[in-house]
Structures are given as structure tokens and as C-alpha cells.
Amino acid sequence: MIDCIVYANHSARNRTELEDWLEQEIGERLDAERNDDYDEAAAREFPSGFLRFRYRIEIDSRDVVERLLPLLWERGVPAVAACDYEDELPEKGGFKSRAVPWPD
């Protein structure tokens, strides 16, 4: 059961490339889908632009979310988590945090 969606603005050319990279880094295959609402210009708007990021990564484990977010941020990838426990995540899941990368 999916309990969190991480919106990520990774530059991968396609979802398979992103899923392969994440599997290599996290050690588990994650489902990354192109966001139907992706809009490059709107994604730059802080803080709500994350809803327009390129990918939606569906995750069913809080542990994975807690490992994934810092990994993405350390690699300069804008990412924000949307879930019931986002306030308990690093940087509160990235929402409204100027400490995480953002598209420019």
C-alpha cells in the first residue's frame, strides 16, 4: 500500500532511467511515474511548485522515504514528500524548506 508520494524534479530522460538509478542507490526498486501535471515553469514556484515536478515516486515504507529524501537532496535533486507523516521527516519532507534544492 502506497503511504507516501515523493515529488522529484530529477533530470532523467525517462522513468526507467530514474528507477534504475534509485534501485542502485536505495537497494530497492521504486515506482517512479511521470507526473501528468508536470510543468517546468510552474515547478519553479516556491513552495507549491513541487506538485508540478517531473516525477511522482510512490513509496510504501517510511524508512525508504527517510533514506530517499536526503539522497535526492544531496545529489541536488529537488524533492518534496506528501504523506501523513511529512512533518516528522527530515526538513518536514521538504515542503517550505529553503534548505532543500529547488528548480531555478
For 19-28, how does the pLDDT look when each residue is reduced to its tens digit (9 = 90+)?
A: 999 999 999 9
Question: pLDDT value at position 76?
Answer: 96
Extended beta strands in 1-104, E state: 4-8, 31-34, 55-59, 79-83
Question: pLDDT value at position 77?
Answer: 96
The C-alpha cell at 47 is: 513552495
CA 98/CA 18 separation, integer angstroms: 24
CA 35/CA 33 separation, integer angstroms: 6
CA 42/CA 64 separation, integer angstroms: 27
Say what the pTM is. Answer: 0.95
Question: pLDDT value at position 2?
Answer: 81
What residue ranges of the chain have pLDDT lower than 70? none
Query: How many Cβ atoms sit within 10 Å of the Cβ of residue 21?
Result: 15
CA 60 to chain centre: 14
